[in-house]
Every structure is written in structure tokens, then in C-alpha cells.
Amino acid sequence: MTDSRLCEVLAMNDLTIQLNNRPYPYLEGTTIGSLMRENNFDFVAIIVKINGSVIEEDKWLTAAVNVDDNVEIIHIFGGG
């Protein structure tokens, strides 16, 4: 979601979650999978947490996100 679209949606909707430490609009039925699609999170190595709890990859499509949840989608990469 682009920053301008994010601002539009936030202005219309008081319900939010935290996505990677930023406010993000909450829509009923939001899942980790839908957040990943909307934000183009398609990296090979990702860790997902909801309120500090790790969500296993096989649960991403169905793991529900609720109002005020703190969601972290972390891209793991190596360096040297």
C-alpha cells in the first residue's frame, strides 16, 4: 500500500494495527497472508510475529490479525 493510500485509509478508519512499528489500517478478515500480499512481502526468508509470538509459515494464510495487534514481518538476509 502506498503512503498516500495508507493515509487515505487511516483517515477513513479509526481501527488500526501496528505493522512493523507503523500504524496500518485494520480491516475485518485481515490475515498475515493478506498483509504480505498488500505490501509485496515476498522475500525468501521471513519471520512473522503477532504480539511477540512467532507465527509458523504454514499458518500465514489463515493467521488472523485483530485490532491493535502488533505485527512484525521481518526479512532475514545475510551479509558479510
Is 70 exceeded by the pLDDT of residue 80?
no
pLDDT score recorded for residue 44: 86
Structural domains in the chain, CATH included, are 3-75 (3.10.20.30)
SS3 assignment, position 14: coil
pLDDT score recorded for residue 46: 94
Q: For 21, left (φ over 0), alpha (ψ -120 to 50), or beta? A: left
Residue 29 cell numbers, joined: 478478515
Is 80 exceeded by the pLDDT of residue 76?
yes
Residue with the larger pLDDT of the pair 3 and 51: 51
Is 80 exceeded by the pLDDT of residue 18?
yes
Residue that the C-alpha cell 485494520 belongs to: 26
Note the maximum CA span of the chain: 44
CA distance 56 to 50: 11
